[in-house]
Amino acid sequence: MKKRGVSQIDWIVSLALFLLYLAWFFAFVTPQIRTTTNKDTSIEILKDKFYDEFKWSVYKFPLFIQSNNTPKYQPVITTYESNRTDLRFVDDTGYLIWNNKLIFLANLSSEKETFWILSGNDYSPDYTSTGFNSKNKSVSTENFTMRLDESLPESAWYKDKERFDNAEYKINNFNFDVSTNELNEFGFLAMYTARTENINHTSLVFDKNSEVYNYFLTESDNEYLFTIDLDLDDYDSYYSNNLYYDDFEYGKELRSVNFTNDYLTLYGPDAFTIFLDDDTEFNITYYNESLHLKMNFYVSNGYLYRYVFHDGDYTNIERDYYTAGFGVIQRLEGIDFFSIETNFTYLKNKWDFKKDFEINVYDNSSAYTYLYDPEYVIGSYTPGRKNVISETEDMVRLVDTGEYETIGVNFRVW
């Protein structure tokens, strides 16, 4: 009996010590921050203040291009009349907005392609040179060189052979007397502008291309008769349509061909094609090894004619390389991670927040926040405080490519 009593006393003492240990354990390991599932008004206000302070928004929209060519760099010129001019291509493609047009150089394939564009954050294009050579009186790209006289195309070479020379221009049968001219360079593009009275003649030459886009801009709705005379290389043949085509039979006799159409291809070992916006009077004269072209056409504001030097013959060229169209504009909003301010006193006063707080911002989702140090800390929490409300949640960070990423943000209020 005596031994059984001693055993019961030992058991009671052991239980008491175990309970004392549990009390000691929970006293030390219980968190000093009280986390609650109940919504606290002050912490919800702090979340809203934080988001509103550091959010930013951007507009994002697609440009769809369908091309029927094998992959190659092509100028893309599409109508763009939006007031959103602070653009950035997600892939950092350089561009120019000019005369209600969006202009850039793209490596187009034979499939539908999507170019994503951002707007709304004071973006501006990067005009870093791509390496092609443009000067006031000449410009050279791959296999192509053009010389200019007061910013008007005067002569052109393709694959080191002169293709036209001595170009002359007239407006209403009077010489195009240039009053001012200039060259503007945009990295992938050289723009030559010649002005006379109310008419602006602008030629665009693109890197990696052997073609020239020529635009007329006028200050009125008037039409003007424009005349171009070119001395040409001794091409073998010409083609304009199924009615107007033939070979040139060079000889001592002067021969002449006259017809009206909106394009013409001259070809031999390679080809020179001229595209125009409207029907044009073509006059071709030739003898011996001389070939001369005269064109008469009426121009008004926005008129385009285009020189294209290319391989092959008239079957190897198309007027339009692609079709283009814009998609729906989306408005995106999220936190601008790199603009987060950590000045606690400034933010506390600006937000008119009465309680003390600490905000820890992690560059990853809340599931991993405690594996890493926070990227930003606003405020300072001292361990040992009680009655602290703490909540951690995922928020969205909007990056400058228009994509969303998840960040974890821990809010503490006391």
List the beta bridge partners of residue 360: 377, 410
Burial of 184 (0-12, 13-18, 19+ CB in 10 A): middle
CA dihedral 117, 123, 125, 126 (to 10 degrees): -120
Dig out the tokens for 327 from the structure: 């998609």
Pairwise CA distance, residues 295 & 198, whole Å:
21
Pairwise CA distance, residues 216 & 303, whole Å:
5
CB-CB contact of 374 with 19 (8 Å):
no
* Ranges of each domain in the chain: 33-57+334-413, 127-320
CB-CB contact of 77 with 104 (8 Å):
no
Residue 407 has, within 13 A of its CA and on its CB side, a CA count of 24
pLDDT, residue 32, reads 38
Residues 6+ apart with CB under 8 A from 199: 171, 176, 216, 217, 218, 224
From first to last of its 414 residues, the chain has per-residue pLDDT tens of 444 444 556 655 565 555 555 554 444 433 433 444 445 689 999 999 999 999 999 999 999 999 877 678 899 999 999 888 999 999 999 999 999 999 999 988 777 889 999 998 888 888 877 777 899 999 999 899 999 999 999 999 999 999 999 999 999 999 999 999 999 999 999 999 999 988 999 999 999 999 999 999 998 889 999 999 999 999 999 999 999 999 999 999 999 999 999 999 999 999 999 999 999 999 999 999 899 999 999 999 999 999 999 999 999 998 988 899 999 999 999 999 999 999 999 999 999 999 999 999 999 887 776 678 999 999 988 777 778 899 999 999 999 889 999 999 999 999
Place of tokens 């921050």: 33
CA dihedral 315, 316, 317, 323 (to 10 degrees): 110
Pairwise CA distance, residues 260 & 156, whole Å:
24
Pairwise CA distance, residues 209 & 142, whole Å:
7
pLDDT, residue 400, reads 86
Pairwise CA distance, residues 212 & 151, whole Å:
12
pLDDT, residue 366, reads 78
Phi, psi of 211 (to 5 degrees): -145, 160
pLDDT, residue 109, reads 77
Residues 6+ apart with CB under 8 A from 131: 207
List the beta bridge partners of residue 405: 397
Q: Is the dihedral of CA 238, 239, 242, 244 positive or negative?
A: negative
Place of tokens 């309970």: 19
Domain 127-320's class? mainly beta
Residues 6+ apart with CB under 8 A from 167: 152, 153, 154, 155, 228, 229, 230
pLDDT, residue 111, reads 77
N-terminal to C-terminal alpha carbon distance within the chain: 60
pLDDT, residue 3, reads 44
